[in-house]
Amino acid sequence: MTHRFAELTTAQAAALLAGPRTPVLLLPVGAIEPHGPHAPLETDPIISAGMCARAAERLAGSPDVRVLILPPLPYGVTEFGVGFAGAVGIGADTLHALVVEICSTLASQGFRNVVIVNNHFEPGQVATLRRAVDTLAARGVRTGYLDLVRRSVASRLTEEFRSGSCHAGRYETSLVLADRPDLVDTTAMSALPALSVDMPAAMAAGHASFTALGMDRAYCGAPAEATAEEGHATFATLTALLLDVIHDQVS
């Protein structure tokens, strides 16, 4: 049984709507942007995909919901990566339009339960996703959104994540090591000194790029401390948080 929505035939998609289980569609979003000299540009989409796959697997036997993963939106608002090769951003209005139109189209067919799963926390990205949820609500489409930067949610994640010094550091690199170790340059990773940058405070002060934040190699935190074990543990927590949002969405 597939967990990927786009692998269904149209007949199977129609059958979902008529079936006894409420369909819940997960929309993984992220960004293509520099993650230090050691981690892949698609670090954020990898994390979103990993959470979605685990949540779908956990609920595979549920009698109440049928969780399917939509094709991801890997591009996001990535102005902080300016000056680094491989940073591929889209505008806030483009992201807003994509999310609103995808969710509206699905809702018009009866797929009214979409949950947005984001792991790119640049302020422009987070603000745009919140705005998209508001726009959809004004159109009568209640969309789930796991907002990982909300304090009550972040408090369940690792110390580095809570510190805000966490771009391509121990937190994110561990997650990539858990699912795609082949994409981490562990030699480069092991040589990186820890770098403490209070990203939320610096961003609030108006700094708007990694270089302006003093992140000359597009990372902060402690990537050399990353382990696959921590990544698997963090994925378990992220999956539990996502399951809560799925439950709220259909209850």
Site residues (vs Zn ion, CB under 5 A)? 43-44, 172
The answer to whether the CB of 33 falls within 8 A of the CB of 45 is: no
State the nearest-atom distance from the C-beta of 35 to Zn ion, in Å.
6
Tell me if 99 sits within 8 A of 41, measured CB to CB. Answer: no
Residues for the chain: how many in total?
251
Question: Of 29 and 245, which has the nearer Cβ to Zn ion?
Answer: 29
- 103 half-sphere exposure, CB direction, 13 A CA radius: 31
Q: Closer CB to Zn ion, residue 46 or residue 106?
A: 46
**Rounded to whole angstroms, how far apart are CA atoms 23 and 251?**
13
**In this chain, which residue has its C-beta nearest to Zn ion?**
44
- What single string gives the DSSP state of each residue in 21-84? SEEEEEEEE--B--BTTTB-TTHHHHHHHHHHHHHHHHTTT-SSEEEEEPPPB-----GGGTTS
Least CB distance to Zn ion at residue 47 (A): 7
Min dist. Cβ of residue 231 to Zn ion (A): 13
Nearer to Zn ion, 29 or 70 (CB): 29
Q: Which is nearer to Zn ion, 68 or 199 (CB)?
A: 199
Shortest Å distance, C-beta 109 to Zn ion: 32
- Helix, coil or strand: residue 189: helix
Whether residue 32 contacts residue 87, with contact meaning beta carbons closer than 8 Å, is answered with yes
Are 167 and 221 a contacting pair, CB within 8 Å? Answer: yes
* Cβ proximity to Zn ion, 44 vs 230, nearer residue: 44
Q: Which two tokens stand for residue 120?
A: 């790119």
Of the pair 145, 210, the CB lying nearest Zn ion is at 210
The residue (of 42 and 249) whose beta carbon lies closer to Zn ion is 42
CB of 16 to Zn ion, least distance (A): 32
- Shortest distance (Å) from residue 166 CB to Zn ion: 8
Instruction: Dig out the tokens for 1 from the structure.
Output: 């049984």
CB of 205 to Zn ion, least distance (A): 21
CB atoms within 10 A of CB 185: 13
Give the three-class secondary structure for 183: helix
